Structure 1
């Protein structure tokens, strides 16, 4: 269950990061609200997941999922240039996340 919550929290990290960018410095209401709600849920889920997953592994996976999804969405939506090198680097990041799951033991 900890891993499921961690993955959902990583997805929510991408949501709040994207909303933060769209809030234009908190001058736009709805992106600012989405940012706040997603941030609280993401951090709460990360804190919960750390009850059963070591802090280093949990944080690395959370950040990795959030970063990969954030840049992936930005490339998909056209906000960021798409390149083969970026796609390969994101795939490498995802591979590292999977690797942490495979070698990391719960405590």
Structure 2
């Protein structure tokens, strides 16, 4: 019987997982939607967003058409009000137990 040390097993297992993960992503890219195809709606659609001030950009699966999510469609949840930041007066101060206190604008 062949003896396989634990460390060698971990290295081979990790390499196998990486290979399998890269193979799976290639399959997803291999079958993009084509022009004229219809996306079948999900059966478990969420109800309309009841609190838009808390849940911003709730995901609608059928609207996904790219691997990259644009900034204006990025999903977020805020349990408190979202702050409005004035760029002209915004400043970040770094102080306390640091060698060089500084301020960024």
- With normalisation by structure 2, the TM-score equals 0.27
Larger % of helix: which? Answer: 1
Larger % of strand: which? Answer: 2
Considering only CA atoms, is the larger Rg found in Structure 1 or Structure 2? 2
Structure with bigger RCO (C-alpha 8 Å, 6+ apart) = 1
